Each structure stands twice: as C-alpha cells, then as structure tokens.
Amino acid sequence: MTAPRRSLLAPDPRTIARNRAEARFRAYGLGAVGVALVALAVLLLSIFGNGSSAFYQTYLEVPVMLPEKSLDKSGTRDIEVMKKVTTVGYAKVLKTALDEAIEANGIIVEGLGKKDVGNMISDEAAAQLRNMVLADPTLVGQTIAFEMLANGRIDGYYKGRVTRESAALDSNVSPAQLDLADALAEKGLLATRFNLDFITAPDASDQRPEAAGLGVAILGSFYMMIVVLALSLPIGVATAVYLEEFAVKNRFTDVIEVNISNLAAVPSIVFGILGLAIFINFAHLPQSAPIVGGLVLTLMTLPRIIIPARAALKAVPPSIRDAALGVGASRMQSVFHHVLPLAAPGILTGMIIGLAQALGETAPLLLIGMVAFVRDYPGGLFDPATALPVQVYNWTQRADPAFVERASGAIIVLLIFLLIMNTAAIVLRRRFERRW
C-alpha cells in the first residue's frame, strides 16, 4: 500500500508536532535563562541599593580649637603625659567646637539640650582626634579644620534610613536634631562625601556603625589568599600531574580518585572542624590567625583545583605525548615541556575559580575564631584577623540598621574582588593561549 504523495508545501501533522516540541523546548530554555538573569538583577540591585551608601559618610566640618589647657596641662608636648587625656577630654573639645560653630553661624537651636547637640557627633570622632593629636603634638594650641564623623543616625538621615517619623520614636535621635543637622548642612558645616575609611578602617563597636570599616577584613583575606595560593597551587598541580601522567592505574589510585571527588563535595564547615582540631588544638597555632584560615581553605580548595587540573591534563591530545616520547623525551620532559604548558590555561582557570571560592568561604572560618572582633591590623600571618565574608556575617548580626548598609557595602567589595579575580583568569588564559 503506498500513501498518496504529500505536497512539500503543506507540512504533515508529525512535522508540525515535532516543530512545536522544539519551539516549546526553546521557550523553556529561554525562560530558564530569563529567570537566572532576573534573579541576578534583583540580587545586584538589592546589594547595590543597600550597600552603595556605605561608601559615603556624613561628616561635621567645623574648626576645632585644641586648647593646651585641657589636652597638655604640662605644656611639654610629652606624649606619655598627653596620653593621660582620654577620649572623654577630646569629646568635650569637639562638643565645644560644634557649639561655637553653631553660634558663630547664627543657627538657632530649638528643643535640644547641650548634650543632645553633642550627641550628634560620633563617639569615634573623639578617638580619631586623639590619635591625630598624639601623632602630631604640635597641633595642640592651634585651631584645625577637623572632619568629625556624624552619629550613625544623623548619617542615616542623609541616606534615607532615618526619617522624622522614625526619629520621633527613636530614643537615640530626635526630630529636633535632624532640624539642626539640616541647618548645619545649609551653612556648609555638615556634608556627605566619599568614605575611604570604609575600605581602610578596622571594624568598630556596635555603637559606632559610622566608623566601621573593612581594613582588617581585607588584609586578613589577602593574607589567607597568599597562604592558599602558595600551598594549593604547587600541591594541587603536582597531585594532578602525578595522578594523570605517572601513576599506574590500579585499585589504590582508584580509591584516591574517588576520595578526591568526595572531598570536593564535603561541606566546608567540616574542614573548619578539622582545622580547629588539627591546627589549633593539636598544632597550637594561634586562633583567628590568617595562617590557620589559609591552611583550612587550602584543604578545602585542593580537591577543587585537582579535579579541573586533571581534566585540563586529560584534554591534551595523546598525540602530543607520543610525539615527545617518539623523539626520545623522558616522561617528565614530555609532561613539563609539552603537556603542562598546554594544560596551563585550564589549570589556571581552575586555580583562580578555586581561589575565588576560598575568598568567599565563611563557615570554616567561624570555627577557627576568625569571627572575633579585631581592631588591630594584622602585621603577619600569625596575628588575629577577620575575613571579608566573615565581616559580612558579623555585621548582619548587629542590631543597628546602619550595619545592614555596611554589610551590603562589604558584599560589594567582595564581589569586586571576585570580579577582578575572574577577569585575571580570563586575561591570563588568553595570554597563555596566544603563545601557541
């Protein structure tokens, strides 16, 4: 039985059904990509919306008279003597300076006690002034232009976090203070400007969100990345090369292979417990130190470097190995002269992605004490430090909403570092490939 001839101009039902199925599948794919893009956009918008203001800070800019009478009674400019004046003494100086500036500019203060006016200055400002004076005692007796950090609530007012309605309910700030702040801003005594301290300053206590910075965290993360890079690159590449090029394939290497894959899937917090037990409790390395964090992250990163490195080595065509062996190169020469350079772009990419993962890792660091409040910059691998993601975690735990802004700002910094690393991966990859 022969079917009647069908015209090519009219598609048959099967073809129509198949085309529909394909169109549906394309729609699913497009939908999946769309969902991913929307999620990314929402994420970035919310982080940048919340966090970009962390890079700006409100300052009170008034001339500050540094009276010798209260700051250096002896008049000798002897640091040891001057150190006896605490931040309380400097806070008074700042409050006086602010009062004088208000008076000099003819601003009428309504509904505020003297204390309320002084409270608009951050507690941190006095400490900063003290450090400044102790660093340069000749300032005493002079009138200097000093930018004092405004209180976090006043700062929040200019970032939209605090409104007159919320201030009325808040015991830390009153609408009258906001009125005064507006009046100061009008006279140019209060301004919001770029805040480099957010990147460089150390963390600050719960009461001083306006002073909190990422300096210690960035330095801590940097030290840890150095440790991770210095250890995991040679160990990881050597392992991959050995397993891929030299090891005999037997049950033992099979077990190793399976275990490396399993290690890559172990939750990172388990590595934290391991680090706590081995590096701190057994080896007695210091807590909260970047060296321990780096070691733990190295353990975590190694399998994630070995697996892509092996894949990159496996992807080098066997004909290259044959060619090298055929002209009388030894195994090692064939690997190091030919196979490894060809696999380098892949290994490098895996390496940088592994590093980026390590940079963003939080859980294991919590267990080895890197979550501590650290205000001193770590001078080396053995000094206490925190890390960027831990700082984010830390700040989100704090009560003051100003820390939410700080946390989002820290995420932006973290994302920028990751972006730089990924770009480096791409650039290095391109450069390596161009050589061939």
Partner 1 sequence: MNDMRVSESAVGAQDVKISARKVQVFYGENHAIKDVDVEILDRTVTAFIGPSGCGKSTFLRCLNRMNDTIPICRVEGDIMLDGEDIYDRRVDPVQLRAKVGMVFQKPNPFPKSIYDNVAYGPRIHGLTRNKAELDEVVEQSLRRAALWNEVKDRLHAPGTGLSGGQQQRLCIARAVATSPEVLLMDEPCSALDPIATAQVEELIDELRANFSVVIVTHSMQQAARVSQKTAFFHLGNLVEYGETGDIFTRPQDPRTESYISGRIG
- Assess contact for 209 and 398: CB atoms under 8 A: yes
Rounded-to-integer distance, Cα 100 and Cα 52, Å: 34
CB of 256 to partner 1, least distance (A): 17
Indicate whether 159 belongs to the interface with partner 1 (CB under 8 A): no
Question: In this structure, what token pair is assigned to residue 51?
Answer: 């966090």
136 binds partner 1 (CB under 8 A): no
Q: Which of 342, 363, 366, 421 binds partner 1 (CB under 8 A)?
A: 342
**Smallest distance, partner 1 to C-beta of residue 331, A:** 9
Which CB, 92 or 338, lies closer to partner 1? 338
Indicate whether 253 belongs to the interface with partner 1 (CB under 8 A).
no
Which residue's CB is nearer to partner 1, number 269 or number 342? 342
Residue 22 in contact with partner 1, rule: CB under 8 A: no
CB of 301 to partner 1, least distance (A): 29
Nearer to partner 1, 337 or 430 (CB): 337
CB of 322 to partner 1, least distance (A): 6
Closer to partner 1 by Cβ: residue 159 or 321: 321
Distances (CA, A) of 145 to 40, 189, 361, 423: 44, 11, 42, 42
Is 251 a binding residue for partner 1 by CB under 8 A? The answer is: no
Q: Which is nearer to partner 1, 72 or 245 (CB)?
A: 245
Alpha carbon distances (Å) from 200 to 86, 121, 406: 24, 21, 13
Quick check: 166 and 154 in contact, CB under 8 A?
Answer: no
Cβ of residue 324: shortest distance to partner 1, in angstroms?
Answer: 8
For the chain, report the end-to-end CA distance as a whole number of angstroms: 62
Question: Taking the complex as a whole, how short is the minimal distance between the CB of residue 436 and partner 1, in angstroms?
Answer: 4
Q: Are 118 and 98 in contact (CB under 8 A)?
A: yes
The mark string for 299-328 relative to partner 1 (x by CB under 8 A, - otherwise) is ------------------x-xxxxxxxxxx
For tokens 């970032």, the residue is: 159
* Of 345 and 384, CB closest to partner 1: 345
Which two three-digit tokens encode residue 232?
A: 């995991």
Q: CA 209 to CA 213: how far, in whole Å?
A: 9
Contact yes or no for 121/91 (Cβ under 8 A): yes
We find the least distance from the C-beta atom of residue 427 to partner 1, in angstroms, to be 20
- The DSSP line for 70-116 is HH-TTSS--HHHHTTS-HHHHHHHHHHHHHHHHHHTTPPP-S--HHH
- 147 three-class SS: strand
Residue 28 in contact with partner 1, rule: CB under 8 A? no
Determine which residue in the list 83, 164, 193, 337 makes contact with partner 1, applying CB under 8 A. Answer: 337
CB of 200 vs partner 1, minimal distance in Å: 46
Q: Residue from 69, 249, 251, 284 that binds partner 1 (CB under 8 A)?
A: 249
Half-sphere exposure of 214 (CA within 13 A, CB side): 27
Which letter, b or e, does each residue of 334-353 get, where b requires 16 or more Cβ atoms within 10 Å of its Cβ? bbeebbbebbbbbbbbbbbb
Q: Which is nearer to partner 1, 117 or 247 (CB)?
A: 247
Q: Which of 28, 194, 282, 436 binds partner 1 (CB under 8 A)?
A: 436
Q: Does 13 bind partner 1 (CB under 8 A)?
A: no
Closest distance between partner 1 and the C-beta of residue 244, in Å?
13
187 versus 429: smaller Cβ distance to partner 1? 429
Distance CA 219, CA 81 (A): 33
Rounded to a whole number of angstroms, the minimum distance from the CB of residue 226 to partner 1 is: 33
Handedness of CA 96, 102, 105, 108 (dihedral sign): negative
Q: Is 256 in the site for partner 1 (CB under 8 A)?
A: no
With binding defined as CB under 8 A, does residue 117 bind partner 1?
Answer: no
Identify the CA nearest to 280 among candidates 392, 389, 354, 364.
Answer: 364
Site residues (vs partner 1, CB under 8 A): 248-249, 317, 319-330, 333, 337-338, 342, 436
